[in-house]
Amino acid sequence: MAKNKVSEWSTTAANNTDIGGINIAEGCAPSGINNAIRELMAQVKDMQTGTDSDNFTVGGNLTVTGTATGTTASYGDSTTKFATTAFVQAALAAAYPVGSIYINASSSTNPATLLGFGTWVAFGAGRVMVGLDAGNAAFDTAEETGGSADAINVSHTHTVTDAGHRHYTTYDGLASTSASFQSQIGRTTYSSVNGGYESYFARGVSDSTQADAGRTSTSTTGVTIDSAGSSGTNANLQPYIVVRMWKRTA
* pLDDT tens figures, 118-132: 999 999 999 999 999
With respect to residue 188, please indicate whether it lies within any of the assigned structural domains. Answer: yes
Distance set, CA 45 to CA 50, 51, 53, 69 (Å): 8, 9, 12, 18
* Better-predicted residue by pLDDT, 230 or 107: 107
Q: Residues 102-129: what's their mean pLDDT?
A: 96
Other Cβ atoms less than 10 A from the Cβ of 81: the count is 12
User: How far is it, in rounded angstroms, from Cα 86 to Cα 224?
Assistant: 76
With respect to residue 148, please indicate whether it lies within any of the assigned structural domains. Answer: no
With respect to residue 43, please indicate whether it lies within any of the assigned structural domains. Answer: yes
Distance set, CA 110 to CA 90, 117, 179, 239 (Å): 18, 10, 101, 27
User: How far is it, in rounded angstroms, from Cα 75 to Cα 77?
Assistant: 5
Residue whose C-alpha is closest to residue 18's, from 28, 55, 7: 28
With respect to residue 34, please indicate whether it lies within any of the assigned structural domains. Answer: yes
With respect to residue 23, please indicate whether it lies within any of the assigned structural domains. Answer: yes
* Interval 52-85: pLDDT, tens: 999 888 899 999 999 988 889 988 898 988 889 9
* Interval 32-41: pLDDT, tens: 999 999 999 9
* Better-predicted residue by pLDDT, 207 or 228: 228
Domain that holds residue 173: 166-220
Domain count, the chain: 2
Q: What is the pTM of this model?
A: 0.56
pLDDT at 42: 95
User: How far is it, in rounded angstroms, from Cα 139 to Cα 234?
Assistant: 22
Question: Do the beta carbons of residue 184 and residue 153 sit within 8 Å?
Answer: no
User: How far is it, in rounded angstroms, from Cα 161 to Cα 48?
Assistant: 98
User: How far is it, in rounded angstroms, from Cα 212 to Cα 197?
Assistant: 19
With respect to residue 199, please indicate whether it lies within any of the assigned structural domains. Answer: yes
pLDDT reading at 215 higher than 90: no
* Interval 166-214: pLDDT, tens: 666 655 544 444 444 444 444 444 444 444 444 444 444 444 444 444 5
With respect to residue 109, please indicate whether it lies within any of the assigned structural domains. Answer: no
When computed from its CA atoms, the radius of gyration of the chain, rounded to whole angstroms, is 51
With respect to residue 98, please indicate whether it lies within any of the assigned structural domains. Answer: no
